[in-house]
Amino acid sequence: MTERRTMDIARAHQLLDAYGADPACWPAAERIALSEFIAESPEAARVRARAATLDHVLNQAGTYAPSDRVRAQILAAAPIRSDDWLDGMRAAFGSLWRPAAVLAFSLVVGIGLGIMNPVFEPEDEEIALLVLGPGWDETQ
């Protein structure tokens, strides 16, 4: 922990100039004292408002989230023991398991329907209806 100091306008200036307006960024040891001081000091409140303006602008900066690829590469290089390989695969490629399961399920359903349903041999007229849509023969 940092040393507790007496809160005065000079210290409030230092803290707000360094850490900005968000109490979450203030040193834990001085957070309550600074909050109380700002509530009583119009000058400290003004300094905080100025810091908040800069914080707001800084929060407009671009961000970047890691890709699934880099996550998978890091986990693939992790020292995972061989008897934990299934969990390791899940860790590295977790996002692929669900789509793979859906694909497998769809395949099984498709094969099942193909086996259970009678063979469908459409007549020429039905094929034309399917391809050209209703009203195909109106122009004939």
Partner 1 sequence: MPSPTSDVQADAAIIRRVAEGDARACRQLVDELLPAIVGFSYRMLGDGGAAEDVAQEAFLRLWCQAPKWRAAARVTTWLYRVAHNLCIDRIRARRDVPVADVPEVADPADGPLIHRHRREVSELVDAAIAGLPERQRVAITLVHYQELGNLGAAAVMEISVEALESLLARGRRALRNTLSKQRRDLLGDLK
As a whole number of angstroms, the distance between CA 135 and CA 75 comes to: 58
Decide if residue 37 touches partner 1 (CB under 8 A).
Answer: no
Type of residue numbered 115 = I
| Beta carbon nearer to partner 1, 87 or 137 | 87
As a whole number of angstroms, the distance between CA 33 and CA 19 comes to: 15
Decide if residue 131 touches partner 1 (CB under 8 A).
Answer: no
Helix, strand, coil content of the chain in percent (nearest 5): 70, 0, 30
Decide if residue 45 touches partner 1 (CB under 8 A).
Answer: no
As a whole number of angstroms, the distance between CA 35 and CA 44 comes to: 10
Decide if residue 84 touches partner 1 (CB under 8 A).
Answer: yes
Decide if residue 134 touches partner 1 (CB under 8 A).
Answer: no
Contact region with partner 1 (CB under 8 A), list: 69-77, 99-107, 115-123, 125-133: 69-77
As a whole number of angstroms, the distance between CA 16 and CA 21 comes to: 6
Decide if residue 36 touches partner 1 (CB under 8 A).
Answer: no
As a whole number of angstroms, the distance between CA 36 and CA 129 comes to: 78
Size of the site for partner 1 (CB under 8 A): 44
Residues that bind partner 1 (CB under 8 A): 1-2, 14-15, 17-20, 24-25, 27-28, 50-51, 53-55, 57-58, 60-67, 70-71, 73-75, 77-82, 84, 87-88, 90-91, 94
